[in-house]
Structure 1
Amino acid sequence: MIAGIQAFGLALGLIMFYYAVKLYRQGKFKDRDFITWGSVAIVIVGVSVYPTVLDSVLSWLKIGRGLDALLVLGILGVYGFVFQVYIRNQETQRQITNLVRKVALELEQKGRKKNA
């Protein structure tokens, strides 16, 4: 019998995987994004369907309760994703800066040609 939280986790994982596949097919996800989010979705589905699988991992990590482990993993996961977003933001800012410099130089050259 599936508990309410298990049903919610299963639905969330399946929806996440559906959108990951959809965005990947539309070209809005890179390979790395699809692998990351697809894996997260599959893990959510797996843990939702088979929650006792975590017991061996929990005993190895010396964590007593499953909820504690999920909270710890959730917080670590959020930090990892925030770091990933930060890196991508820095790259995007660098690309915008280079583009603005290039456009400014081209406009300056066109202005000089007009005045000459």
Structure 2
Amino acid sequence: MYAVQYIAVIIVLALMVYVLGKYGRNELDWQDLVFWEALLFIMLVVSLKPVEISTTIRKILGLGRGLDALFVVAIGLSYLLLFRLYIAIDKAEREITELTRQIAIEFQEIREMLKKLEKD
């Protein structure tokens, strides 16, 4: 194993412990825990056997070099993560919009009640 592989293994294991700690402090849902741990496990396997895995992916995708295959897979995973982030942001925006509407409706009702009380 090369020195960079040792470094990668240490970093990935540290990230796995970090994610478990986040879950332990209830900062992550179990779905997020499974997703991130699976992704980190894949990264751990790739860091342990980079040549074999890149060669296999290269043959499956029909690319010229193994490193190209790893870049293609990494870019694909990056797009999946971006899509997941987009979905989460869109959901949060919709919830904020709905809460704003509810607050505006309640505020208007309160103003109407105050006007009625002032008249009496």
The bucket for the TM-score relative to the shorter chain is 0.7 to 0.9
Secondary structure of 1:111 counterpart: helix
**Which stretch has the larger CA shift, 69-78 or 8-17?**
8-17
Residue equivalent to 2:88: 88
Query: Quick one: higher RCO (CA 8 Å, sep 6+), 1 or 2?
Result: 1
1:2-17 matched pairs, under 5 angstroms: 2-17=1-16
**Separation of aligned partners in 2, 1:112 and 1:76:** 54
Identity between Structure 1 and Structure 2 (%): 26
**Separation of aligned partners in 2, 1:77 and 1:115:** 57
Cα RMSD between the aligned structures?
A: 1.6
**Separation of aligned partners in 2, 1:83 and 1:38:** 19
**Alpha carbons 1:16, 1:37 under 8 Å: kept:** no
Any idea what the Cα deviations from partners look like across 1:40-91, whole Å, max 9, x if unmatched? 1111112222335413343333334331121111100110000000011110
| Length, aligned pairs only | 115
Residue equivalent to 1:37: 36
**Separation of aligned partners in 1, 2:94 and 2:86:** 12
Residue equivalent to 2:49: 50
Could you list the runs of 4 or more consecutive aligned residues of structure 1 that deviate by over 6 angstroms after TM superposition?
A: none
Amino acid at match of 1:7: Y
- TM-score, reference length from structure 1: 0.87
Q: Which runs of 5+ in 1 are unaligned?
A: none
Residue equivalent to 2:108: 108
**Alpha carbons 2:8, 2:47 under 8 Å: kept:** yes
Amino acid at match of 1:87: I
Report the structure number with the largest CA radius of gyration.
2
- TM-score, reference length from structure 2: 0.85
Q: Which runs of 5+ in 2 are unaligned?
A: none
**Separation of aligned partners in 2, 1:47 and 1:75:** 15
Report the Cα offset of residue 29 of structure 1.
1.3
